[in-house]
Amino acid sequence: MLIISSCGKEKNKIVFDTSFTTARLDSLITKSENTFEAIIKPAFEPVNKSPWFAFAVSSSTPKTIKLTLNYGDYKHRYIPKLSFDKKTWKKIEPQNIRVDTAKGTATLKLNVSSKKLYVAAQEIESSKDTYAWVDKMIENHSELKKVIAGKTAQNNNNYCIALENESTKNSIVLIARQHPPEIPGGTIGFKSFFETLMANSKTANSFRKNFNIYAFPLLNPDGADLGNWRHNANGVDLNRDWADFTQPETKMVKNYLEEKVSKGAKIQFAIDFHTSYSGPYLLVLDSINTVKSKKIIPNWIRNIENNSNFKVEARKRSQELPYCYNYFINTFNCEAVTYEDGDEIDRDIIKERAKIYAQSLMKTMLLKLENNEL
């Protein structure tokens, strides 16, 4: 537990709190009575520009403080989100933030009081939060199982939510949040997608009878809870580890799925949920249109665009990269995508997009099944 407080007099004390999971604020410099600089560092390097921060601040007397977020060699990226309860979040008002693009810092004006104000790069979502959501899904859907599929680098349980039918071997796989700060697509988008698969709609009911679902709701729980910018607890970017499998988290998925496949499971599609500053888009393999492909992806995209106002941007990537979705096509010869939403996209739009994408995928795959194309 680390509490950083200013050196002000007792009745004039400002406390910066980093004692909760997911917190990140490495040190604090007091510039003057109401002016501070927070030093934010990555847990491991090298790392891309994804400077996660999360802390709470309170003051014994209500006041306005100025706080500069200094990321060292890295640059500001995420618009700070504010909350009093870690449930309802609001972006900081534009007039209360000034970004210095040359220095890469951001200076915030914060109204602080005795009520703890949480300030974070994105909505805070600890492993406990995600697992509470998993437990609620299972409470409402007895056909779902929460399986301990393996352990993390820190020897914590790592889970798969499995839905298995006696009558089918066809399966889809969902993987979420390899990268801790990527909550918009990696958690908000993923949850909405999964909830749509579990909805009480004609399409979803039929889909769940005809397909098994293996969902890994938070592949990097250690990284999320430690407030890492990118890596797992061993300092490895999990989404570059799908060729060598040096980490328990990626190894777990490999072992779990390959055992399912050895018992007859046929993985037909996989989605890996992320967030990018330039999202939304899908990363697809450059082999998307080859004859080998069952063309789920092009049909899915057409279905999305025909049934909504969403336009799908598909960016092609080489099949050789050690990314998660490459593993799926290289190992199971199935189609797979990286699903990227955007850092600052309205959360209702993120949820709606994931819902439409899930509905369209279910329709596309059910039609493929009906036409004996799987």
Residue 281: CB minimum distance to Zn ion, A: 12
Name the closest residue to Zn ion (Cβ): 274
Instruction: Name the segment binding Zn ion (CB under 5 A); options: 153-161, 214-222, 266-274, 309-317.
Output: 266-274
The answer to whether the beta carbons of residues 340 and 282 sit under 8 Å apart is yes
Which of 223, 6, 240, 46 lies closest to 126 in space, CA to CA? 223
Kindly give, in sequence order, each residue whose CB lies less than 8 Å from that of residue 302, ignoring residues fewer than 6 positions away: none
Residue 374 beta carbon to Zn ion: minimum distance, rounded to whole angstroms: 29
CB of 340 to Zn ion, least distance (A): 7
Q: Which two tokens stand for residue 113?
A: 């009081």
Q: Which range of residues in 12-20, 175-183, 242-250, 264-272 is near Zn ion by CB under 5 A?
A: 175-183
Residue 43, number of CB atoms within 10 A of its CB: 19
Beta bridge mates, 265:
none
Minimum separation from the CB atom of position 182 to Zn ion (A): 5
* Residue 81 or 274 with smaller CB distance to Zn ion: 274
Give the whole-angstrom CA distance, residue 354 versus residue 348.
Answer: 10
**Least distance in Å: CB of 34 to Zn ion?**
37
Beta carbon of residue 179, minimum distance to Zn ion (angstroms, whole number): 4
In this complex, which beta carbon is closest to Zn ion, that of residue 129 or of residue 272?
Answer: 272
Give the closest residue to 210 by CA, choosing from 171, 243, 247. 171
Nearer to Zn ion, 194 or 339 (CB): 339
Q: Considering only 31-39, 71-79, 174-182, 316-324, which stretch makes contact with Zn ion by CB under 5 A?
A: 174-182
Query: Which of 179/231 has CB closer to Zn ion?
Result: 179
Peptide bond preceding 322 in cis form (omega within 30 of 0): no
Phi-psi region of 270 (alpha: psi -120 to 50; beta: other; left: phi over 0): beta
- Rank residues 183 and 252 by Cβ distance to Zn ion and give the closer one: 183
Query: How many whole angstroms separate alpha carbon 184 and alpha carbon 162?
Result: 23
Closest to 356 measured CA to CA, from 316, 312, 320, 315 = 312
Give dist(CA 262, CA 158) in Å, integer. 22
Q: Where on the phi/psi map is residue 104: left (φ > 0), alpha (ψ -120 to 50), or beta?
A: left
Query: For residue 280, is the peptide bond before it cis, meaning its omega torsion is within 30 degrees of 0?
Result: yes
Given the rule CB under 5 A, which of 3-11, 97-105, 179-187, 287-295 is the region that contacts Zn ion? 179-187
What gap in Å lies between CA 256 and CA 149, rounded to an integer? 7
The C-alpha atoms of residue 354 and residue 65 are separated, in whole angstroms, by 38
- How many degrees, rounded to 5, is the angle at CA 160 between CA 286 and CA 81? 75
230 lies in the binding site for Zn ion (CB under 5 A): no
Minimal distance, residue 153 CB to Zn ion, in Å:
18
- Residue 1: what residue type? M
> By CB under 5 A, what part of segment 333-372 binds Zn ion?
none
- Residues between 270 and 329 that touch Zn ion (CB under 5 A): 274
281-285 and 314-317 beta bridge pairing: parallel
> Contact with Zn ion (CB under 5 A): which of 77, 179, 231, 368?
179
Q: How far is the CB of 46 from Zn ion (least distance, A)?
A: 15
Q: How far is the CB of 181 from Zn ion (least distance, A)?
A: 9
Nearer to Zn ion, 234 or 308 (CB): 234
The stretch near Zn ion (CB under 5 A) out of 139-147, 180-188, 290-298, 352-360 is: 180-188
Closer CB to Zn ion, residue 176 or residue 296?
176
Q: How far is the CB of 275 from Zn ion (least distance, A)?
A: 6
Residues 85-114 that bind Zn ion (CB under 5 A): none
The residue among 207 and 216 lying less far from Zn ion, judged by its C-beta, is 216
Count the site residues for Zn ion by CB under 5 A: 3
The footprint of Zn ion (CB under 5 A) covers 179, 182, 274
